Amino acid sequence: MWQGVNIGERRLLGPRLAGALMLEWFGLQLSPALISQTVHQAARRVAPVEAELARGRHVAVVMGARERQHGAVLHRCAHHKG
């Protein structure tokens, strides 16, 4: 589902809408440029964490596949012994 999506992408709302929400919710008037710059800087800061999360997810998927494969082999062996 999230494959190919990185934290730096703004898929849910753009800087203009984010600025309008900040104004409505908190009374803060922020320019779209400031919001874009903040998102960009935050994405740079979390890039190492994002890479580590992606590696962890990959390992979990591979290990899960191996466990399922191992379980299937054990299941087949148990049926053949009887």
59 lies in a domain?
yes
pLDDT at res. 74: 56
Q: 35 and 13 in contact (C-beta within 8 Å)?
A: no
2 lies in a domain?
no
Q: CA 8, CA 45: separation in Å to the nearest integer?
A: 10
pTM exceeds 0.85 for this model: no
36 lies in a domain?
yes
5 lies in a domain?
no
Instruction: Work out how many domains the chain is built from and give that number.
Output: 1
45 lies in a domain?
yes
Residue ranges of the chain with pLDDT lower than 50?
A: 1
21 lies in a domain?
yes
pLDDT at res. 63: 78
6 lies in a domain?
no
